[in-house]
C-alpha cells in the first residue's frame, strides 16, 4: 500500500465526488471483503478475477525478478465502480495468480486511476538505492476537487516507486510529474516505455480524441513530443488506455510500431473496445503506415478484438529479450453493462494473457492474438473429436463439467453453399450460446441472445455480434476457451478474435455442432478440460 494516509470510504466519496457517479451499492458496504470461494456461480476458474468486489482495467503490467505483476483498477468496498484503488496480484507462470495487498488507495491527490510500471534498471530516476533498481509507477491521479476549487481539470500524472518488488510504494515528493495544462478534461492512463533509439522514456497518454506522447530522461521531468489520432480511426467515444510498442514482422524481417487504442464507446458491436494502428515511431512522432491508414479510413477502424468484452488491453513491460513475446491482457467486460452484470461478490475478470504477433498479409499489416502457450499447462487429458459431416445438430459426447471449462480446437472444411455453422453450448434451462461462422457474409459470430439468466442490461443480449473473416485459406479453424462466464474465440490462428461474456443461470453442460442452410464437413478437433487455478474451498466438515 502506498505510504500516504488513505481516506475513509465515505470521506473519499465526498471529497472525490465518486458517490455521485456510483449507483447504490448492492454488496458488502464495508472494507472487509467477503471471503472468496471461487466456487460462486459465474466465477471464472482459470481467468483472473479479484477475490472480491469491483475490478476494471489491468494496470502496471510488468515482469520483474521472476514475477509477472498484474495491478488493476479496483474498488475494494463494493462490486461497483467507485473510488479507484490499485489491486495487485503476481504470477510466476502467467497462469496461477497470488493475490497481494492493495498497492494504491485514494489520497489527497485523488483516486488512483490507470497507469503503468517500468523497472528503472539504470536508475535514471535516482530513486533506487543500494543497487536496487526501482519499480516506477506512473498513474493518473484523478481528483474532482481540483476542478471544484477552480484550479484545473481533475487529471494529472503522478509517480510512485517501490524498492521491494512492488510490495510497498512511496509517493514521489515532486508530484504531479505531469500536471494538467489546465484545459484537458481527459488526460490519463500513462503507459511508459524506454525508447532505446532516442535514449529516453516515452509516455503514451490518452487525451480525449487523440493520444499524446511525452519524453523524459528520468521518469520525473516530462516534455511534450507530439500527438496522434484526431480524425483517424474510431471516435465514437473518448480514447483511453493507449499502448505503444514495436513488433517484428516475420514475413518481412522489419520492425513496425503498434499503437493499441481503447475507446469508450464506439466499438464495432457496441460499447467499449480496442482498435489499433500500425506504423513507425521515431522518438517524437507516430506515423501510421500509409496503407494501414488507408484501410482505417475505408473501414472506420481496425479492431484487435471484435467481441464485446475486451477493453483497456495493455501489454507487459520488462519481458526479457530471451523470451521476446509481447504479452497483453484486457478487462473482460464492456462499460455498456459492466456495472450490472449478475455477479455479486466480485465484478470483472481479465482475458487470458495473449501473445500478440504482427504479420504482413496480402491485405497489409495485421495483429494476431493467441492465448499464451503457458495456458496449455492447465490442460487435462484432451479428447479427440472425430471428423463428421454436419447438417442440422450433432451432439458431442463431452463430459458435462468440461463443456464450460475447456480449451477446444475445431477444424472445418470450406463450407458448401451459404451455411452457418459452429457450436451451440446449452443447459437444461434452454439457455444457449452459439458461436460460429456464416459463409453467406464471411463473418464469424457470437449469438448470446439466450445466454444470460436475467435481463440486467438493454444491450447485453440485444444482437448477434459479428466479426469479418480476413483469412483467405479455405479451411476454417476455431479455437475456443470456455470458462464459466466467458467465451474467447481465436479463429484462423488468432487472425480474428471475439471475446464475449455469458451469464447462464446454470453452467452450460452440453455442446453440439450445428449447421444451418447447408452442410459442412467437420474435420475433427480436440477438447481439453481445463484445470482451475484457485485453491479448492475449505471443506465444510474438516476432520
Ligand atoms: C478505462 C478507464 C480509464 C480510467 C479508469 C478509471 O476503463 O476509464 O480511462 O483511468 O478506467 O477506473
pLDDT digit string, tens, across residues 46-68: 999 999 999 999 999 999 999 99
Express each pLDDT in 193-211 by its tens digit.
999 999 999 999 999 999 9
Q: Which of 188, 190, 205, 211 to mutate to test the pocket of ligand 1 (most atoms within 8 A of CB)?
A: 188
Q: Which of 86, 114, 187 to mutate to test the pocket of ligand 1 (most atoms within 8 A of CB)?
A: 114
Identify the residue whose cell numbers are 514475413: 251
Residues 6+ apart with CB under 8 A from 508: 403, 404, 425, 426, 427, 431, 432, 433, 482, 502
- Whole-number mean pLDDT of the chain? 92
- With b for 16 or more beta-carbon neighbours within 10 A and e for fewer, the 259-295 pattern comes to bbbbbbebbbbbbbbbbbbbbebeeeebebbeebbeb
The sign of the CA dihedral 178, 287, 317, 348 is positive
Rounded to the nearest angstrom, the distance between the alpha carbon of 330 and the centre of ligand 1 is 12
Res 24 pLDDT > 80? no
Q: How far apart are CA 308 and CA 497, in angstroms?
A: 11
pLDDT for res 6: 35
For residue 521, give the H/E element and its range: strand 510-529
Q: Kindly indicate the confidence band of residue 379, based on its pLDDT and cuts at 50, 70 and 90.
A: very high
Res 142 pLDDT > 60? yes
Average pLDDT over residues 135-154: 87
Q: Kindly indicate the confidence band of residue 152, based on its pLDDT and cuts at 50, 70 and 90.
A: confident
Rounded to an integer, what is the distance from CA 100 to the centroid of its chain? 20
Res 315 pLDDT > 70? yes
Residues 6+ apart with CB under 8 A from 110: 16, 141, 142, 143, 144, 145, 146, 154
Work out the number of other CB atoms within 10 angstroms of the CB of residue 509: 17
Q: Kindly indicate the confidence band of residue 509, based on its pLDDT and cuts at 50, 70 and 90.
A: very high
pLDDT for res 542: 42
pLDDT for res 4: 38
Return the residue whose CA atom lies nearest to atom 6 of ligand 1: 113
Express each pLDDT in 471-496 by its tens digit.
999 999 999 999 999 999 999 999 99
Q: Kindly indicate the confidence band of residue 286, based on its pLDDT and cuts at 50, 70 and 90.
A: very high
Average pLDDT over residues 345-365: 97
| CB contact at 8 A, 420 and 515 | yes
Q: Which CATH class, in words, describes the domain spanning 379-529?
A: mainly beta
**Which cell numbers hold the place of 158?**
503522478
Q: Which of 56, 80, 110, 313 to mutate to test the pocket of ligand 1 (most atoms within 8 A of CB)?
A: 56
| For the chain, percent of residues with pLDDT exceeding 70 | 92
Average pLDDT over residues 264-270: 98
pLDDT for res 33: 56
Query: β-strand 388-395 against 510-529: which pairing, if any?
Result: antiparallel
Q: Kindly indicate the confidence band of residue 147, based on its pLDDT and cuts at 50, 70 and 90.
A: confident
Domain ranges, ordered by start, for the chain: 9-321+328-371, 379-529
Give the binding-site residues of ligand 1, using a 6 Å CB cut-off: 56-57, 73, 84, 113-114, 140, 188-189, 240-241, 312
pLDDT for res 416: 79
Q: Kindly indicate the confidence band of residue 95, based on its pLDDT and cuts at 50, 70 and 90.
A: very high
Q: Would you say the CATH fold of 379-529 matches that of 9-321+328-371?
A: no
Q: How far apart are CA 522 and CA 412, in angstroms?
A: 5
Identify the three-state secondary structure at position 295: helix
| For the chain, percent of residues with pLDDT exceeding 90 | 87
For residue 360, give the H/E element and its range: strand 354-361
Q: How far apart are CA 61 and CA 64, in angstroms?
A: 10
Q: Kindly indicate the confidence band of residue 28, based on its pLDDT and cuts at 50, 70 and 90.
A: very low
Active site residues: 57
The ligand 1 atom at the shortest distance from the C-alpha of residue 57 is 7
Q: How far apart are CA 456 and CA 448, in angstroms?
A: 14
pLDDT for res 394: 97
Identify the three-state secondary structure at position 294: helix
pLDDT for res 151: 66
pLDDT for res 539: 56
Q: How far apart are CA 215 and CA 192, in angstroms?
A: 9
Res 317 pLDDT > 80? yes
pLDDT for res 16: 31
| CB contact at 8 A, 53 and 75 | yes
Res 237 pLDDT > 50? yes
Return the residue whose CA atom lies nearest to atom 9 of ligand 1: 240
Express each pLDDT in 417-464 by its tens digit.
889 999 999 999 999 999 999 999 999 999 999 998 778 999 999 999
**Which cell numbers hold the place of 172?**
514521489
Q: Taking the CA of residue 430 as centre, how many other CA atoms within 13 Å lie in the half-sphere pointing to its CB? A: 0
- With b for 16 or more beta-carbon neighbours within 10 A and e for fewer, the 310-347 pattern comes to bbbbbbbbbbeeeeebbbbbbbbbbbbbbbbbbbbbbb
Rounded to an integer, what is the distance from CA 472 to the centroid of its chain? 28
Identify the residue whose cell numbers are 493467441: 370
Rounded to the nearest angstrom, the distance between the alpha carbon of 311 and the centre of ligand 1 is 10
The ligand 1 atom at the shortest distance from the C-alpha of residue 238 is 9
pLDDT for res 32: 56
pLDDT for res 7: 33
pLDDT for res 34: 63
| DSSP symbols for 23-84 | PPP-S--SSSPPPP-S-STT--SSS---SSEEEEEEEEEEEETTEEEEEEEEESSSSS--S-
- CATH code, 9-321+328-371: 2.115.10.20
Rounded to the nearest angstrom, the distance between the alpha carbon of 57 and the centre of ligand 1 is 7
Rounded to the nearest angstrom, the distance between the alpha carbon of 96 and the centre of ligand 1 is 25
Rounded to the nearest angstrom, the distance between the alpha carbon of 489 and the centre of ligand 1 is 25
Res 174 pLDDT > 60? yes
Amino acid at each position: 500500500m502506498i505510504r500516504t494516509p488513505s481516506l475513509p470510504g465515505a470521506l473519499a466519496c465526498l471529497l472525490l465526488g465518486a458517490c455521485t457517479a456510483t449507483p447504490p451499492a448492492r454488496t458488502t458496504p464495508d472494507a472487509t471483503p467477503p471471503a472468496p470461494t471461487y466456487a460462486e456461480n459465474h466465477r471464472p476458474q482459470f481467468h483472473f478475477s479479484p477475490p472480491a468486489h469491483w475490478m476494471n482495467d489491468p494496470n502496471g503490467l510488468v515482469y520483474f525478478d521472476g514475477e509477472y505483476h498484474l495491478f488493476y483498477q479496483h474498488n475494494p468496498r463494493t462490486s461497483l465502480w467507485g473510488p479507484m484503488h490499485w489491486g495487485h496480484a503476481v504470477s510466476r507462470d502467467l497462469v496461477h495468480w497470488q493475490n497481494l495487498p492493495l498497492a494504491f488507495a485514494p489520497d489527497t491527490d485523488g483516486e488512483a486511476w490507470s497507469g503503468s510500471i517500468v523497472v528503472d534498471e539504470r536508475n535514471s530516476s535516482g530513486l533506487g538505492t543500494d543497487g536496487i533498481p526501482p519499480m516506477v509507477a506512473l498513474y493518473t491521479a484523478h481528483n474532482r476537487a481540483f476542478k471544484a476549487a477552480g484550479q484545473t481539470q481533475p487529471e494529472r500524472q503522478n509517480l510512485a516507486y517501490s524498492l521491494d518488488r512492488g510490495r510497498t510504494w512511496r509517493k514521489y515528493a515532486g508530484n504531479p510529474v505531469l500536471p494538467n495544462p489546465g484545459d484537458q478534461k481527459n488526460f490519463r492512463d500513462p503507459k511508459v516505455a524506454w525508447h532505446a533509439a532516442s535514449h529516453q522514456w516515452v509516455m503514451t497518454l490518452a487525451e480525449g480524441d487523440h493520444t499524446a506522447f511525452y519524453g523524459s530522461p528520468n521518469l520525473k521531468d516530462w516534455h511534450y513530443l507530439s500527438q496522434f489520432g484526431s480524425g483517424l480511426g474510431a471516435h465514437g467515444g473518448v480514447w483511453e488506455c493507449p499502448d505503444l510498442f514495436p513488433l517484428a514482422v516475420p514475413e518481412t524481417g522489419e520492425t513496425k510500431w503498434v499503437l493499441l487504442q481503447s475507446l469508450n464507446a464506439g466499438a464495432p458491436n457496441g460499447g467499449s473496445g480496442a482498435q489499433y494502428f500500425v506504423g513507425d515511431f521515431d522518438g517524437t512522432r507516430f506515423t501510421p503506415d500509409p496503407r494501414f491508414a488507408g484501410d482505417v479510413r475505408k473501414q472506420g477502424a481496425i479492431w484487435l478484438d471484435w467481441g464485446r468484452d475486451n477493453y483497456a488491453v495493455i501489454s507487459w513491460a520488462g519481458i526479457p529479450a530471451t523470451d521476446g513475446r509481447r504479452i497483453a491482457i484486457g478487462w473482460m467486460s464492456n462499460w455498456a453493462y459492466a456495472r450490472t452484470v449478475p455477479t455479486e461478490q466480485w465484478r470483472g475478470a481479465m482475458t487470458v494473457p495473449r501473445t500478440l504477433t504482427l504479420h504482413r498479409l496480402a491485405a497489409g499489416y495485421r495483429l494476431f492474438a493467441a492465448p499464451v502457450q503457458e495456458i496449455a499447462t492447465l490442460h487435462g487429458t484432451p479428447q479427440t473429436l472425430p471428423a463428421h459431416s454436419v447438417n442440422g445438430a450433432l451432439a458431442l459426447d463431452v463430459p458435462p463439467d468440461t463443456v464450460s471449462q475447456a480449451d477446444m480446437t475445431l477444424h472445418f472444411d470450406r463450407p458448401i453453399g451459404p451455411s452457418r455453422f459452429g457450436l451451440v453450448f446449452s443447459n437444461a434451462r434452454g439457455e444457449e450460446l452459439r458461436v460460429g461462422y456464416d459463409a453467406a457474409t464471411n463473418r464469424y459470430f457470437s449469438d448470446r441472445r439466450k445466454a444470460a439468466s436475467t435481463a440486467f442490461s438493454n444491450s447485453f443480449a440485444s444482437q448477434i455480434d459479428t466479426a469479418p473473416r480476413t483469412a483467405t485459406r479455405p479451411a476454417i479453424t476455431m479455437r475456443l476457451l470456455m470458462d464459466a462466464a466467458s467465451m474467447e474465440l481465436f479463429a484462423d490462428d488468432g487472425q480474428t478474435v471475439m471475446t464475449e461474456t455469458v451469464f447462464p443461470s446454470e453452467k452450460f453442460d452440453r455442446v453440439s455442432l450445428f449447421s444451418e442452410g447447408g452442410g459442412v464437413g467437420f474435420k475433427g478437433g480436440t477438447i481439453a478440460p481445463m484445470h482451475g487455478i484457485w485453491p479448492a474451498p475449505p471443506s465444510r466438515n474438516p476432520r
